[in-house]
Amino acid sequence: MLASLKPKVASILSDSAESVANRLQAVCTLLRDSVDYYDWVGFYFKNGDKEELKLGPYAGEPTDHTIIPFGKGICGQVALSNENFVVPDVTAQDNYIACSITVKSEIVIPLFKNGENIGQIDIDSNTPDPFTQEDERFLEFVNQKVSQIL
C-alpha cells in the first residue's frame, strides 16, 4: 500500500515546472487522500536562524500552531533529537501540543539536508496506534526525496 505511493511521490517531487511549495503541497494531499489513517499531513521547517519550526505546506484542517519552539511538543522535540518520534496515544504524552481534539496518534520524521536536521514531516491520525515501521521507512523515503529538491 505505502510502497505503491513511492513512484507517485517521486514523480510529484521531480516536476521542476512546479514550485517547491506546490510540490510539497501535492505530496501532503496525496498522502492524506491515499492513506485512511493519515488525517493531517504537513511539513515544518527550521525558521531561518531561530530555534523554532515554521509550518510549511500541509493538507488537513488549519492549525494555530504555525510556529513551534524547539523542545515544545512532539515536533519541537524531534527538532532537537534528530530521531523519529512515533506516538501511539497522544494522551500519554506530557510534552504534546494538541491541534485537534479528534487526534489520537502522531508520527514525526526528521528531514535532513547535508546531514543537518532542517525540518520534518508530521502526520496526525484520528485512529489510535496505527503507525508501524512501514510508515517510518516510507516517510523517511519521502523526506529523502524532498531533501533532494531543497
**Where do contacts with ligand SME occur on this chain (CB under 6 A)?**
40, 42, 63, 65, 68, 73-76, 96-97, 99, 106, 122, 124
C-alpha cell at 109: 520524521
Closer to ligand SME by CB, 102 or 144: give it.
Answer: 102
Shortest spacing between CB 14 and ligand SME, in angstroms: 27
Shortest spacing between CB 62 and ligand SME, in angstroms: 10
Shortest spacing between CB 68 and ligand SME, in angstroms: 6
> Phi and psi of 130, rounded to 5°?
-95, -15
Closer to ligand SME by CB, 17 or 101: give it.
Answer: 101
Q: What angle do CA 103, 98, 43 make, to 5 degrees?
A: 80
> Phi and psi of 62, rounded to 5°?
-60, 145
Shortest spacing between CB 108 and ligand SME, in angstroms: 7
Residue nearest to ligand SME (CB): 73
Buried b (16+ CB within 10 A) or exposed e, 90-110: beebeebbebeeebbbbbbbb
